Structure 1
Amino acid sequence: MQYKPNIYSQTSHIVGFTDYLKPPKAFHDVNVEELLWRASMSPRIRGHPFHFVPKVAFMFLATNQTSNVKKVDGNARMHPESPVFHERSQEVEWGMVSLIEAVRRLLANALLDILNQHFVLLSETCIPLYNFSTVYSYLINSTRTFVEVFDDPSSVRYYLSNYTRITVDQWRKGWAWFAIDREVAIESISDRQYFPEFLKCKGHCFPDEHYLPTFVHLKFAARNANRTLTWVDWSKGGPHPMEYRSPNVTAALLSSLRSGYGRKCEYNGRSTDVCFLFARKFMPDTLDNLLRLAPQIMYFST
């Protein structure tokens, strides 16, 4: 009798493109270390063997007082226990290292969606100055990232002597509100060289104004526009920018912000007057005026 070996065929499940392109679930049970590890993965082959529509991830670093969100939702006041943030918020303190840890978690969660190609950090007091089509086109077609980076000698007081991997001449400052592409986002959440230095910070040393500007200056200077896309008015001085209230919100103000008060900047090698896509700090009582003026000034659909 001829011997015929048993042949077992086993097909392992391979996730197809349809499943691969599905956005990840908003809730997951991984810890921060696992989250950063998973988010740091990146395909080595350039291009996409499937129909690819890039997305922009708008990430909000928000306080509990997100009344604008609550008003749209039909309620009177925002609480961290509301369905929007229930069991999802973590304590972050102004000026402390917990701020940049929170930003890394936001980036890591957004990176889980392979379609997200640009990442914008905003606050609950930020507003768009242009409609979505304009904002999307500006970001997707840009050849630069937008992280404000400048050398401010006064900020050296926040430089600690135990930052052994960063020298004073490498130290940079910039406002926290950025727009970066996927490569910069992956590299920043994977950073094991400079980020641990900022974790040594104790007290109010404002790492949110120094870590990413320093990191981008050291790693991606040639690709960075060295400017932010978020208008902030610091003309009054002090540790906090000007707050816009309802009487301030007029068609003239929004038009001025859209033009950057006559500023010019560079976009993909050409001069433009579209320098800011967002603005802050707009308080909750400005919402009605903003909704009324949006179709007129920003050409939002009513």
Structure 2
Amino acid sequence: SSQCATGSNLAELPPHFTSMKNSSSRPTQSSMEIQIHCPAPATKLPRKVCAPEEVTLLLRILALLLLLLVVMSIATTSMDDERLRSWRFRPREDDDDSMAYQPPADLMHNMSDGELFQRAMDVSQLSRHRLGMVPKIAFMFLTKGALPLSPLWEKYFAGHSGLYSIYIHPRPSYHADNASSSVFYRRQIPSKVVNWGSLSLVDAERRLLANALLDLSNERFVLLSESCIPLFNFSFTYQHLMSSRYSFVDAFDEPGPAARGRYQPKLAPEINVTEWRKGAQWFEASRQVAVIVVNETHYYAKFDELRDVIEISSYNWGNLIFYHYIPTILTIKAPHLIANRTLTWAYWTGGPHPETFGKDDVSDGFLRKINQEKNCSYNDQPSTVCYLFARKFAPSALEPLLKLAPTSLGFG
């Protein structure tokens, strides 16, 4: 670096600079550069003013740069819009400024799971389109077929259109016959055969998440079964989920044959025993966590490799995977994002399935007692609301549930 020439340091300049100052000839290009970049002395040296043609050139360069940025922005927007349209998304006619998009009413498609998962990831990257959208809860029903408690859910969703979306994954052979006025009308997604407890059950959960991720406005994702019921009205549930800093995924580490005892050394080095977790199947996830579950392939491949080759007691190890897969991968990849508890209550008395409740079991006291027996935390603060949903309820429980809904559940 060099100093600027002033009256006090002119003698220190190299000879050719000194001679240039004393010369009466026209300044050279080098002298012009020095005078342009150095502050002009107050008395000794005149201030150099850029020639008009130089100013014009600089302005043209700036204009070209701005034009290039505009063109790139338009091109990117057009590409994003074209990708959305090619996936059968359509812009909301009443919200052009927000560039908001809605998925088609018909959820059926012919994509493979791999194509679906990739599309869900691509859509999730278009986060700028979510500006101005009202966030929704995606209710994902993993079922064997019909929804026998659907009349209760119809009352639960009534009056809250635009704040929720519904996705149903039944057996492939099942075809719903819901009335066009039903909230469940045409909400079935392409499904595959699910065997209880196997990795195919995890596949179905990921399939539900991926289809729900295609709707950019879905912000929270709840996994439910046909035997689940809500314990509060929709407004309370919506506020509780949207205000939460965490996803409600059950993930715990405990000794014993039913938890750490199921860890297999062949899972190493990808998964160590200290990372092995167990948890309830039924979860609630933020969009960020849903993306992690759908996008994860590294650990999935390891689970897939072992599901048919290891047996524990009378159970095939593969039939126990669904208790461990999501709790384990989220403990590894996003432990700070989960609350380590589920929002879905169930009553376990031993055995592979929880207790089922029928007509004679349902009462106001029974429903209220669910949230009175346990304390938990919500956003790192003590809370008495630990469960928003409950299972398992038989079809015969529908009649008393409908009668009790206005007083015990807060809707209907």
TM range (shorter): 0.7 to 0.9
Residues 26 and 159 (structure 1), Cα distance of their counterparts in 2 relative to 1, 3 Å cut: same
- Look up the equivalent residue of 2:263 and give its one-letter code: Y
| Correspondence 1:30 to 2:75 | no
Match of 2:176 in 1: 82
Q: Does the 8 A contact of 2:246 with 2:338 survive in 1?
A: yes
List alignment gaps of at least 5 residues for structure 2: 1-74, 83-89, 94-99, 155-170, 179-186, 309-315
Match of 1:137 in 2: 239
Map Cα deviations across residues 54-108 of structure 1 (whole Å, 9 max, x no partner): 00101111123643349999xxxx9824336889442101111111011110110
* Structure (1 or 2) with the greater helix fraction: 2
Residues 183 and 71 (structure 1), Cα distance of their counterparts in 2 relative to 1, 3 Å cut: closer
CA distance, structure 1, for counterparts of residue 342 and residue 396 of structure 2: 26
TM-score by length of 2: 0.64
Map Cα deviations across residues 116-145 of structure 1 (whole Å, 9 max, x no partner): 011111111000000000111111110011
Pick aligned residue for 2:275 from 166, 170, 183? 170
Pick aligned residue for 2:389 from 278, 292, 296? 278
Q: Secondary structure at the match of 1:233?
A: coil
Question: Which protein shows a greater Rg?
Answer: 2
- Look up the equivalent residue of 2:139 and give its one-letter code: F
CA distance, structure 2, for counterparts of residue 48 and residue 82 of structure 1: 32
Q: Secondary structure at the match of 1:176?
A: coil
Pick aligned residue for 1:205 from 316, 319, 342? 319
CA distance, structure 2, for counterparts of residue 223 and residue 49 of structure 1: 21
Q: Secondary structure at the match of 1:67?
A: coil
Residues 49 and 42 (structure 1), Cα distance of their counterparts in 2 relative to 1, 3 Å cut: closer
Match of 1:91 in 2: 193
CA distance, structure 2, for counterparts of residue 87 and residue 278 of structure 1: 23
Match of 1:196 in 2: 301
CA distance, structure 2, for counterparts of residue 108 and residue 49 of structure 1: 17
Map Cα deviations across residues 193-240 of structure 1 (whole Å, 9 max, x no partner): 211111121244322110110011111112211110000111x21111
Residues 198 and 290 (structure 1), Cα distance of their counterparts in 2 relative to 1, 3 Å cut: same
Match of 2:340 in 1: 226
- Look up the equivalent residue of 2:204 and give its one-letter code: A
Q: Secondary structure at the match of 1:28?
A: coil
Tell me how many residue pairs correspond in the alignment. 284
CA distance, structure 1, for counterparts of residue 189 and residue 289 of structure 2: 29
CA distance, structure 2, for counterparts of residue 53 and residue 229 of structure 1: 23
Q: Does the 8 A contact of 1:32 with 1:105 survive in 2?
A: yes
CA distance, structure 2, for counterparts of residue 98 and residue 167 of structure 1: 23
Q: Secondary structure at the match of 1:253?
A: helix
Q: Which has the higher contact order (CA 8 A, sep 6+)?
A: 1
Match of 2:144 in 1: 63
Q: Does the 8 A contact of 2:249 with 2:327 survive in 1?
A: yes
Match of 1:117 in 2: 219
Residues 240 and 29 (structure 1), Cα distance of their counterparts in 2 relative to 1, 3 Å cut: same
Match of 1:4 in 2: none
List alignment gaps of at least 5 residues for structure 1: 1-10
Q: Secondary structure at the match of 1:121?
A: strand
Q: Does the 8 A contact of 1:40 with 1:187 survive in 2?
A: no
TM-score by length of 1: 0.85
Match of 1:296 in 2: 407
Residues 130 and 90 (structure 1), Cα distance of their counterparts in 2 relative to 1, 3 Å cut: same
Q: CA RMSD in A?
A: 2.7
Match of 1:180 in 2: 285
CA distance, structure 2, for counterparts of residue 295 and residue 255 of structure 1: 13
| Alpha-carbon distance, 1:177 to partner | 0.5
Residues 71 and 227 (structure 1), Cα distance of their counterparts in 2 relative to 1, 3 Å cut: closer
